[in-house]
Amino acid sequence: MSKYKQGDLVWLNYPYSDDFSQSKRRPAIIISNDISNSLDDDYLLCPITSILRNDVFSFRLEKEFLSRPLPKVSEVRCNKIVTVRESLIIAKFASLSHSEIMKLIEVVKKTIS
């Protein structure tokens, strides 16, 4: 059974150097579905940022659809999908409502269709 679920907002040790020797704690949202999450220890995630771009690949995280409000207005960067091992995830800090997860996935689909 997987520890995290689709729509969970998590803290992640996000590698930011070319050789992956350095990382920074960053927020992200799990976009892979629960069936995929249960197969192994890998998750598909998109980064969360407070730098608002409001472009076609952005998804605004509205506080009324979160289990816990974020400190700043933030959005998901839906065109920056990464696969991450569970060991790089530090902790869950919130979750997105099911109805909003479905809207988020539609924006993610725009990046590949």
What tens digit of pLDDT does each residue of 56-107 get?
999 999 999 999 999 999 999 999 999 999 998 999 999 999 999 999 999 9
Q: Cα 58 to the chain's mean position, in Å?
A: 12
Q: Which of 7, 67, 61, 60 is nearest to 33 (CA)?
A: 7
Placement of tokens 């009324």 in the chain: 64
* pTM of this structure: 0.92
- pLDDT score recorded for residue 100: 98
**Domains of the chain by start residue, with CATH:** 8-110 (2.30.30.110)
